[in-house]
Amino acid sequence: MQLRQSLVSLGLVVTAAGPGALAQAFQGFNYGATNNDGSCRGYSDFRGFFERAKGLPGTEGKFTAARLYTSVQCGSAAAPIEAYQAAIDTDTHVLVGLWASAGRAVYENELNALIAAANQLGTAFTDRVIGISVGSEDLYRSSPQGVANNAGVGATGAEIEGYIGWLKDWLRGTPLEGKPIGHVDTWTAWIMPENAGVVAAVDFLGHNGFPYFETTKPNSIDLAADNFWSAVAQTEGVAGGKPVFITETGWPSMGPQQRDAIASVENARRYYSQVGCALFGKRTAFWYTLIDANTAQTELSFALTPLDSATPRFDLAC
């Protein structure tokens, strides 16, 4: 934690009371539209997950926010994701996600679903919206690093800028006008000069950081906290004072060794204690994750709880 203490002394770690910070620091989890077996999640799933998050022992009911990757309900073309109604019914705040790596037609469906949700659900929904993220790691996936890692289809900075402008046009005159608009990506993507236009276009930057996966340098659990805060400083270094949300971070309890990084329950607990507890209540942060949902990571588990049990894998008290 020595690096973080140094960053604090230099004013490089923004807290809820610092420059560019939110009036409220939200604390929550990331929620995919599908389960890790590919099946669709619906209203009852999301409601159960949001209630589970609030009831986690040792957390004092503070996991009250949800970050989503899409606004479209799984299995539909453009129906609003049922997580929105579940958020209303559980008083959960939402960082809206719009999937931006599948072309213009799919992105237009995202816009249609979001506007439909605002019209159908009204202020019960829009008052709970923290902000809107256009895409998630699209820039990383389209970067040379992402291509080399077979990360999947992404989008260029120019495409994301265009999608942000499109969103702003569609939000004019709606209850969502004026909500913060951002983008979520890795620090390696944020600092690329060709993505400076995205930085200029957003109101906030979402930072995804996983020291476990950073195999280009020593990355044991002993170095994880310092590696995490070093990466945050990289993103903040290009943010120009704009808020930086921690949109994904965590450590797996199960999975293959990544250079020096070993997946284990004890290391997941240690990372949560050192990094999570330093974030919660001080800046907006979404932990990865409450329940596994990534169909491409079946050999990995970042979940704090298994699908069929609300009992955490380790003590979550800070």
Catalytic choice (110, 214, 236, 248): 248
The 8-class DSSP code of residue 207 comes to E
In this structure, what token pair is assigned to residue 17? 């009371």
- Is 214 among the catalytic positions? no
Specify whether the CB–CB gap between 133 and 110 falls below 8 A.
Answer: no
Residue 80 has φ and ψ, to the nearest 5°, of: -60, 140
Q: Which residues of 273-305 are buried (b: 16+ CB within 10 A; e: fewer)?
A: bbbbebbbebbbbbbbbbbbbbeeeeebbbbbb
Select from 210, 164, 203 the least CA-distant residue to 186. 210
Tokens 């476990």 belong to 212
Q: Which amino acid is at 102?
A: A
What stretches of the chain adopt beta strand conformation (E)? Answer: 27-31, 65-68, 93-98, 129-136, 181-186, 204-208, 244-248, 285-287
Catalytic choice (137, 161, 214, 236): 137
238: region left, alpha or beta (phi > 0 left; psi from -120 to 50 alpha): alpha
Select from 127, 64, 40 the least CA-distant residue to 290. 64
- Is 266 among the catalytic positions? no
The 8-class DSSP code of residue 59 comes to T
Taking the C-alpha atoms of residue 118 and residue 127, their distance in angstroms, rounded to an integer, is 10
In this structure, what token pair is assigned to residue 307? 């699908």
Taking the C-alpha atoms of residue 95 and residue 97, their distance in angstroms, rounded to an integer, is 6
Taking the C-alpha atoms of residue 221 and residue 216, their distance in angstroms, rounded to an integer, is 15
Catalytic residues: 137, 248
